[in-house]
Structure 1
Amino acid sequence: MAALSDNIRQRKQPSLSIFGPDSEDDENQPIISPELDFSQTQLLIIGLLTLVAAYFRLWNLSNPHKVVFDEVHFGKFAGKYINGTYFFDVHPPLAKMMFAGMGKLVGYDGRFDFKEIGLDYLVAQVPYYGMRLMPAFLGLLTIPICYLTIKQSGHSTAAAVLGATLLTFENALITQSRLILLDSPLIFFTTLTILMWTNFCRYLKRPFTPWWWTWLALTGISMGLTVSCKYVGLFLVAAIGVATIKQLWDLVANINITPREIGAQLAGRALCLIMLPLVVYVLIFQIHFMVLSRHGDGAGFMSPEFQSTLRGGFKGETFRDIYYGSEVTIRHEASNKGYLHSHAHSYPDGSKQQQITLYPHRDENNVFRLTKSRTLTELEHNDTKHDLERVKNGDVVRLVHISTDRRLHSHDVRGPISKADYENEVSGYGWKGFAGDANDEWRVEILDSTNSDSTTKDRLMAIQTKFRLIHTQLGCALFSNEKKLPSWGFNQTEVICMKEAKKPKSTWRIVTNRHPDMPADAVKVRYSPPGLLSKVIESTRVMFNVNNGLTSTHPFDSRPESWPILRRGISFWSADNRQIYLFGNPFVWWVSSIAVVAYAVAQVVLHFTDLRGVTSTKWGSLRSQFTYTTGFAFTAWFFHYMPFFIMQRQLFLHHYLPALYMALLVLVYSLDTVTARVQKRTRYLVFGVVALLALRYFHIFSPLAYGTVWTRPKCEAARWFKSWDFDCKVPPMDPTEIKAAADSPWLSKGTNMLAKPTVVVPKPADNLNKVD
């Protein structure tokens, strides 16, 4: 490898500088050192920018001393880590573990439940300030990271200062970084990954040197940490993946580089940009599993095998062989939503017979008795012993609900939620002493068995056998999906009988088995605990599935087309004439959005002028810089924004924040390129005006970020559009009224500003139901 590295370093490496392909005239290329510039001047600039940002990021961080927005979830999850109790969330664990670590460090004992917006931290003596300090500090670090990224991209110090300034005075990023929310760690690791990648690109002409490996490896590690915070990090993986493919393609096009050398470059990138992020991701989950070792309220989302690894959870040991008369609990395989269940409540329409559902908790209402078809065995079972007879593949059986004596039943009636012609209602029908009818009969269809004994393949067995139940009269299969019943069904999951149902969602497994005549020495089975990789894969799959299922509406959800124009924000919290409302700096958002569109248009125009052969050469290396450096930021913006258009799940303005950072880079890179040939005084004037406008609009909307009081006239003056639905009806008219309002006993009760008829009450997002 050393000889190969020396050979590659001796060759000229085209098309791989931070600016893209080299021009034919190398004298026109700027000479840029790949090393980070930590001169005294640069350290002073970074220090001053960080100091200014620290004031605006950390000021009044303790306000409000109440639970805000999704602190309901992520504060509670921190407590679960501290207590070691397993929970489920749709996001990977890293950011939540960081909050838990910080909470443990500052004395949080995990007992405060964060159960609703507005709960008082001070009353409960929760060290919330320390927990908020962690995301605030990470948000602060994005300022010097942004500065260094712009500098390392080959742009001017003035442009780097401008970028850091715009980031400092971006209201939405300030709001997110001041609360116990996942976006601040996500954005921190996103910006760090961009910086590491930018540093790596400066060493493209020095492949396999120590710093080449260092920055490439750090890029992979940072990517793994980003994805381990939220799966939005996969968009960053896609952006860097495209850039990597472009680099490798340029290598392939170079006739001076051998296939062996190309293979070495490919292997190095695969190792650091694929394998290393995966290792980081798996290790984060390993810590997650080690800490959350006790069975908890999220275990029901996971498979029985997974649950068997948790302390206090069901280990799965039960009698293996299923006989007529066995009392069993049956779990749906595909959805992991729980057990076949019934209770003494009827459907409000349809047949109005007893409900059959999936229920996530272990309960006696999940127990059914397997009986033979059309016999009195089910009536006499408890009175007279019978010879044990195994249930086999193809047998026709009935399932009697133990608690209510109703039989699992289906008929030509549409389902309670699913109303298609091929979707039939499943109900509990009959009563004690009733012999039943043909619509109670189901044929056992064994799909798979993990038992290695070939003689048992046609036997129905607990845990080891996956099977379907086919209705003998209708030909439909017992089926369930993600559909939830309304409140009359206790929000449990619908069960129907579907014709031509797909096997994954009509597959079941018996998880507990008992029989009054079962010999004490009968064979027992238990779940095989999965290994680390199996648990990581299952957790990832379930997270994706549940995340995609968050399709319910929210008062402040929004669609992607509204984000770049900042059509509306999100109400996080409100009380006593104050509110926290996630809202960006309109100037920064709008100008960065214009820059993104302008870049795309400029590239189209330049492409057509190239085709016509009229491209001007007076810009020299600036054209290459504009195409490739700004182009990478544009690509990253594209991948962080466009995928949301194909998502049907609940979406919010904060999903745009990583893309906003990329748009800000496009803006600064473009401004620096366009003004590169003008006088410095003019350039600094342009940059200064942009920075002052950002500061101006930050100040106007800062009460929404900090939760401070502002007067009604100022609030109304800031509502430029009707869609900006922060509340201006409660703030008092002037400082005199502010004092009067502060002294009001009515307001001392914690009035919710958004409880007015025309405004919506803040509520947390991604509100998951507990599953055991």
Structure 2
Amino acid sequence: MALTLFALIIRLFRISNPHEVVFDEVHFGGFATKYINGQFFMDVHPPLGKLLFAAVGLLGGYNSTFTFKDIGDDYLASHVPYVTMRLLPGFLGVLLVPVSYITLRNLGVSNISAILSALMLTLDNGFVTQSRLILLDSGLIFFTGLTVMMWTDFLSNQEQPFTFTWWYPLVMTGVSLGLAGSVKWVGLFLVATIGLSTLQNLWTVLGDLRVTPRQYVHHFAARALCLIIIPGFIYCFLFQIHFWALPNKGGGSGFMRPEFQSTLRGHEIEDTFEDVAYMSKIHLRHHATNGGYLHSHKHDYPTGSKQQQMTVYPFKDENGEFLIAPPLLVKNDTGYVVPVTKLQYLKNGDIVRLIHVKTGRKLHSHNVKAPVTVNDHHWEVSGYGDDSWNGDTNDNWIVRIADKSVSHDDPRPIKAINTRVRFIHVNNRHCGLFSHDKKLPEWGFDQQEVTCAENSGRPGAVWLIEANTNPFLPPNAKKVNFKKPGFFAKFIELHGTMWSINQGLTGKHPYESRPIEWPVLNRGILFWTEKSNGPRQIYLIGNPIVWWTSTITVLSLSVLLVAGVLLMKRSVPILSNLALYKTWNASLILFSGWFLHYFPFFLMKRQLFIHHYFPALYFAILSTGVIFELLTHKLSRASRMVLAGAFLAIVFLVYLDFSPLAYGNLMHRHHCERLKWGKHWDWTCLTSPEDEHDIKPQVAGKVNHIDDHVMKPIWDKAKLPRVDNSSLAGAGFQGPPIPTWTGA
């Protein structure tokens, strides 16, 4: 209880500061808004954390009108209950501290060693920062810690199988395992951690001569039920809640296939005519990546032909509308087009031009290398010509049904949505309209690259025709009709799209880092700076003493494990010592937890940031208590308390020194510069006051939160005098403006 109270003070101190949108609150606050409004969105993370933010937002009276559009947007002006929403990760961060303590006690670690790790966790500035904002990481790490706590509780009750004290922690391990994986996919790494420990546990049970074969089957079935079926059910059920909560069309609808979109209210799929004909206005959806629609805009390639860009864009808008026009014909070296005056259905094998409706440019390819994929098999696709010029034959494309059972000369009609098609370039019959997961650089707005790729039979050259309208079709023409998908079909499709988007996050970011840098705390992330380059900032950086110590201790665990295995092979009774046995057993769980939450990131090529290390860091911090236990178990209790106290005093002083970066408090420039222990710690000190004496006049900058939306003011707003903030400018006032009531 003392640890929890101390953590409550550390984690929730001035949690209302700043009263502006910080870092990824842009995303997760925005997703909570979409849940409340029921607007379908797309995110790479499972739904639990965002559902919880939406729930606490509703409980706090949030009216779901704030957009969370930009970092620095003011919460107070829009009466957003942001403090209530921040309290959710705040309390989860607080509860993680007693969870860590209980976990180590379950592993047989002494009280002093468990307190040591728990206080290191409490005083880590990185964990403090993460647990004070509307972010998913606090929930992920809490459920990770809860899973390990319940599992170690289960392991400590092995002598009482199939009793309540045995079943309860086993069931709760499965429940919390499902919850961890439902916040972020990183939580699924925990499945491997618990799985390895389960195999070791089952091996131990198998070696127990008191356990009959029938009883062993029951042991296996109990673990399968609790650790596979229960987490799987929870994970699936939360996605069902996700679908129930988002019944309406929204910004993420364009990522999903037409069948999925048909399950959303307000969709446009049922208004699509089935028959496609010349002069139809269509949207072309890329089938293989599910990345969006063929798209163009009034921006040119900076290289190659320097003609208008053609891309794939996730959302259906007017820049994705194309007209199916008849081909350009050539006679006597003169190009001409046969006008369309009546309904002419589009058939397999027809030659067409695709004209971008908004700019009049034709879909075009030629003997110019693609902008990103510059090998011999990819050619640039661009927008060429305009309304005043017919263009050339490089604008002509053959439409083919993407079905091997349909021959090239089969004049089968092309249908919207239900017919998958390819567009083969007329002047290069081996080249087809193609897209893949590669993104264009910043000049292409990070949109998906489109090329004309040889070997046009590959999946990336398949497209769907959507949103088909035609002036020659009668109003009662047949509309597209298809069966709406059920839960599992939607579940599978959504996961495929989430995975595809996740893998596509490969662009550069100024604060990204690689896994090799994380254990040594090479760099952090700038979360927020005060508007107009003010002196306050929030920078995600851990407590260096905590990080470096935990890295040393978790690597020590690996040495301990290897040494234990080698000595056992030589029949050396090292594990007959109780302290050594407890340490070795705890090392198996903690080191596997650290390794399995850290090593997989080395295999990823997507954007990575230091906050991805926090689940692994949790296990590393717990390992410090285990190593301290091993090194000091023969010392007196007083000596151990002195050693632990001295170390924690250093940790606390470093926490205080770095705390302005976690809480967004003011600090003078000398202090700010002194904190830059690492050469890559790149927060700014240019706007900080010159020395501590300059801070005192800025106390007025600490906003008096007259309405932080935890409760309504009890005074009459009409009687509150208007404050003229401009009068403070000449008095050295550098903080955010004092909130004023409009219409007073």
Question: TM tier, shorter chain?
Answer: 0.7 to 0.9
Q: Per the alignment, in what secondary structure is the counterpart of residue 278 of structure 1?
A: helix
Aligned partners of 1:324 and 1:391 also within 8 Å: no
State the TM-score, normalizing by the size of structure 1. 0.83
| Aligned with residue 633 of structure 1, among 590, 593, 609 | 590
Q: Which residue of 2 aligns with 1:207?
A: 161
Greater shift, 326-335 or 424-433, is seen at 424-433
| Aligned with residue 246 of structure 1, among 195, 200, 205 | 200
Q: Which residue of 1 aligns with 2:654?
A: 697
Q: Distance in 1 between matches of 2:106 and 2:292?
A: 53
Offset, 1:466: 1.4
Structure 1 residue 745 and structure 2 residue 729: aligned? yes
Following superposition of structure 1 onto structure 2, how do residues 101-116 of structure 1 map, counting pairs within 5 Å? 101-116=55-70
Offset, 1:236: 1.1
Q: Per the alignment, in what secondary structure is the counterpart of residue 692 of structure 1?
A: helix
Q: Per the alignment, in what secondary structure is the counterpart of residue 524 of structure 1?
A: coil
Q: Distance in 2 between matches of 1:473 and 1:252?
A: 69
Equivalent position amino acid for 2:554 in 1: V
Q: Per the alignment, in what secondary structure is the counterpart of residue 316 of structure 2?
A: coil
Aligned partners of 1:325 and 1:378 also within 8 Å: no
Aligned partners of 1:439 and 1:472 also within 8 Å: yes
Q: Distance in 1 between matches of 2:467 and 2:433?
A: 19
Q: Per the alignment, in what secondary structure is the counterpart of residue 102 of structure 1?
A: helix
Deviations 1:414-454 (A, max 9, x none): 12333211111223445558676543443333234999xxx
Offset, 1:644: 1.3
Aligned partners of 1:309 and 1:315 also within 8 Å: no
| Aligned with residue 713 of structure 1, among 664, 670, 689 | 670
Q: Per the alignment, in what secondary structure is the counterpart of residue 496 of structure 1?
A: strand
Q: Which residue of 2 aligns with 1:18?
A: none
Greater shift, 687-696 or 282-291, is seen at 687-696
Q: Distance in 1 between matches of 2:161 and 2:627?
A: 29
Offset, 1:55: 1.5
Cα 1:501–1:605 change in 2 (3 A) is farther
Q: Per the alignment, in what secondary structure is the counterpart of residue 552 of structure 1?
A: coil
Cα 1:435–1:695 change in 2 (3 A) is closer
Deviations 1:540-566 (A, max 9, x none): 222222122222222222211121112
Offset, 1:654: 1.5
Aligned partners of 1:374 and 1:435 also within 8 Å: no
Aligned partners of 1:331 and 1:508 also within 8 Å: yes
Q: Per the alignment, in what secondary structure is the counterpart of residue 162 of structure 2?
A: coil
Q: Distance in 1 between matches of 2:172 and 2:688?
A: 49
Q: Distance in 1 between matches of 2:24 and 2:16?
A: 17
Q: Which residue of 2 aligns with 1:366?
A: 321
Cα 1:51–1:488 change in 2 (3 A) is closer
Q: Per the alignment, in what secondary structure is the counterpart of residue 521 of structure 2?
A: coil
Q: Which residue of 2 aligns with 1:417?
A: 372
Offset, 1:222: 0.6
Offset, 1:317: 4.1
| Aligned with residue 590 of structure 1, among 519, 537, 548 | 548
Offset, 1:62: 1.5
Equivalent position amino acid for 1:371 in 2: P
Aligned partners of 1:449 and 1:465 also within 8 Å: no
Q: Distance in 2 between matches of 1:350 and 1:729?
A: 42
Q: Which residue of 1 aligns with 2:608?
A: 651
| Aligned with residue 518 of structure 1, among 464, 473, 497 | 473
Equivalent position amino acid for 1:673 in 2: L
Equivalent position amino acid for 2:628 in 1: L
Q: Which residue of 1 aligns with 2:624?
A: 667
Cα 1:342–1:579 change in 2 (3 A) is closer
Deviations 1:290-334 (A, max 9, x none): 222222222222222222222222234433233455443321112
| Aligned with residue 569 of structure 1, among 506, 519, 524 | 524
Structure 1 residue 311 and structure 2 residue 269: aligned? no
Aligned partners of 1:151 and 1:160 also within 8 Å: yes
Structure 2: runs of 5+ lacking an equivalent: 701-727, 738-744
Aligned partners of 2:143 and 2:177 also within 8 Å: yes
Q: Which residue of 2 aligns with 1:135?
A: 89
Cα 1:541–1:732 change in 2 (3 A) is same
Equivalent position amino acid for 2:421 in 1: F
Offset, 1:668: 0.6
Offset, 1:240: 0.8
Q: Which residue of 2 aligns with 1:766?
A: none
Q: Which residue of 2 aligns with 1:600?
A: 558
Offset, 1:277: 1.2
Cα 1:713–1:395 change in 2 (3 A) is closer
Q: Distance in 2 between matches of 1:694 and 1:533?
A: 49
Q: Which residue of 2 aligns with 1:463?
A: 417
Offset, 1:127: 2.1
Greater shift, 111-120 or 261-270, is seen at 261-270
Offset, 1:573: 1.9
Greater shift, 95-104 or 151-160, is seen at 151-160
Q: Which residue of 2 aligns with 1:339?
A: 293
| Aligned with residue 481 of structure 1, among 399, 424, 436 | 436
Q: Which residue of 2 aligns with 1:230?
A: 184
| Aligned with residue 102 of structure 2, among 148, 168, 177 | 148
Q: Which residue of 1 aligns with 2:487?
A: 532
Aligned partners of 2:249 and 2:265 also within 8 Å: yes
How many aligned positions are there? 699
Cα 1:253–1:470 change in 2 (3 A) is farther
RMSD: 3.1
State the TM-score, normalizing by the size of structure 2. 0.86
Cα 1:674–1:342 change in 2 (3 A) is closer
Cα 1:587–1:496 change in 2 (3 A) is same
Q: Percent identity?
A: 46
Greater shift, 339-348 or 546-555, is seen at 339-348
Structure 1: runs of 5+ lacking an equivalent: 1-46, 753-772
Deviations 1:124-157 (A, max 9, x none): 3322222211111111111221222122222222
Q: Per the alignment, in what secondary structure is the counterpart of residue 495 of structure 1?
A: strand
Aligned partners of 2:347 and 2:411 also within 8 Å: no
Greater shift, 189-198 or 499-508, is seen at 499-508
Q: Distance in 1 between matches of 2:642 and 2:179?
A: 39
Q: Distance in 2 between matches of 1:573 and 1:402?
A: 41
Cα 1:245–1:722 change in 2 (3 A) is same
Equivalent position amino acid for 2:605 in 1: Q
Equivalent position amino acid for 1:590 in 2: W
Q: Distance in 1 between matches of 2:68 and 2:405?
A: 43
Cα 1:598–1:414 change in 2 (3 A) is same
Q: Distance in 2 between matches of 1:301 and 1:80?
A: 16
Q: Which residue of 1 aligns with 2:514?
A: 559
| Aligned with residue 94 of structure 1, among 48, 52, 58 | 48
Aligned partners of 2:286 and 2:292 also within 8 Å: yes
Q: Per the alignment, in what secondary structure is the counterpart of residue 369 of structure 1?
A: strand
Structure 1 residue 443 and structure 2 residue 398: aligned? yes
Offset, 1:65: 1.9
Offset, 1:663: 0.7
Aligned partners of 2:668 and 2:690 also within 8 Å: yes
Q: Which residue of 1 aligns with 2:722?
A: none
Equivalent position amino acid for 2:729 in 1: P
Equivalent position amino acid for 1:697 in 2: V
Q: Per the alignment, in what secondary structure is the counterpart of residue 246 of structure 1?
A: helix
Cα 1:720–1:521 change in 2 (3 A) is closer
Q: Which residue of 2 aligns with 1:722?
A: 679
Cα 1:711–1:514 change in 2 (3 A) is closer
